[in-house]
Copies of this chain bind each other. A is one copy, B any other.
Amino acid sequence: MTELTRRALLGAAAAASAAAVMPNATQAAAPPAGSQAAGWYRYKVGTIEVTVVTDGANTFKFTDTHVLNKTRAELNAALEAAYYPKDLMTTPYNPIVVNTGGKLIVFDTGTSEAAFANSKGRTGQFQTNLKAAGIDRNAIDMVVISHFHGDHINGLLTPDNKPAFANAEILVPSVEWKYFMDDGEMSRAPKGRMETVFKNLRRVFDALGRKVTQYDAGKEIAPGVTSVATPGHTPGHQSFVLASGNSKVFVQGDVTHVPWVFVRNPGWHGFYDQDGPMAETTRRKVYDMLAAERMQIQGFHYPFPSLGHVEKSGSGYREIPVPWNPTI
């Protein structure tokens, strides 16, 4: 009894498409708004309050060695399967702010306010969105860094190289600090990207007078917040378990980069994994656990608001976003 046919649907759409390019005799009273909603989202883990505060997302043309053990064609096939355009990699950056009741903690800092202009506003949004979320940067008690790549640490500084969180203790992984602050390691690092990583983190931490607190893996670094060693992406890379009551969330840092590529294909080695095989081993262990426990994951490079479940799928995994809750 339905009138719906493929021809009717596509024919209708074609007619509409043609009509849309014709000049309109009348204009709407309201012009297009052109602006996006402030990028923050709040949820609870027991009594812990988490606010996801996006730093934005950028899109790059990728090189033939973006995934070291796969070809451009294979990466493009993965992108097409996930409804992304070919030859372009979109990367979201999503720090979180955790209120434990005892501490107000930022986890990773995004690309920095200075990146806003350079990216034409696509990234460097963290401080603006933090303010929109009603959080005063000066009320931050602690900043916890998962690892020393620029998109996680650059936001520690304002554009004039002052501390972005004036009253916060800065926590850094002890293994990461020992490795990356070693000038011998820097001198032995490959030129190019790795050298840039070493130099950039000196730029950031020197501006802070190297005033940081080192933390170890497997420690409760704040009430309900436990660090977990997840090496490979960098030598001292850390993840975190937030736990309160019966609720837990795994804050993964960069155990995977964007999920539509590296969760679905955990054996693919992105160029940003310093030790690809170790990163893969860590990734599979973490994701096997998350899938078995049905534990929620908060992923820095997942699309905002970056909270999901993971399940086994084929030879890899699939991320299932947690649905947006319009209340808290």
Q: Does A101 contact B (CB under 8 A)?
A: yes
Task: With both chains docked as a complex, state the minimum distance between the C-beta of A225 and any C-beta of chain B, in angstroms.
Answer: 7
The tally of residues in A whose CB lies under 8 Å from a CB in B reads 106
Task: With both chains docked as a complex, state the minimum distance between the C-beta of A6 and any C-beta of chain B, in angstroms.
Answer: 6
- Whether B104 pairs with A29 at a CB distance below 8 angstroms is yes
- Whether A229 pairs with B36 at a CB distance below 8 angstroms is no
Chain B residues positioned under 8 Å from A224 (CB to CB):
16-17, 19-20
The complex places the Cα of A32 from the Cα of B101 at a distance, in Å, of 7
- Whether B309 pairs with A83 at a CB distance below 8 angstroms is yes
Q: Does A77 contact B (CB under 8 A)?
A: no
Chain B residues positioned under 8 Å from A8 (CB to CB):
218, 228
CB < 8 Å neighbour of A17 from B12, B25, B82, B248 = B248
Task: With both chains docked as a complex, state the minimum distance between the C-beta of A52 and any C-beta of chain B, in angstroms.
Answer: 9
18 contacts between A and B (CB under 8 A): A2-B281, A2-B285, A4-B231, A4-B286, A9-B286, A13-B226, A19-B223, A21-B244, A25-B102, A33-B42, A33-B135, A36-B41, A37-B41, A37-B42, A39-B324, A56-B326, A57-B327, A122-B326
Apart from the given pairs A8-B228, A303-B324, A321-B321, 16 other A-B contacts in the complex at a CB distance below 8 Å: A3-B218, A5-B285, A6-B289, A9-B228, A12-B241, A17-B244, A17-B246, A20-B245, A29-B104, A36-B42, A37-B38, A37-B40, A37-B42, A57-B325, A92-B326, A304-B324
Q: List residues of A whose CB falls within 8 A of some B CB.
A: 1-6, 8-10, 12-17, 19-22, 24-30, 32-42, 46-49, 51, 54, 56-57, 82-83, 90, 92, 99-104, 121-122, 125, 132-136, 139, 141, 217-218, 220, 223-232, 241-246, 248, 278, 281-282, 285-286, 289, 293-294, 303-305, 309, 320-328
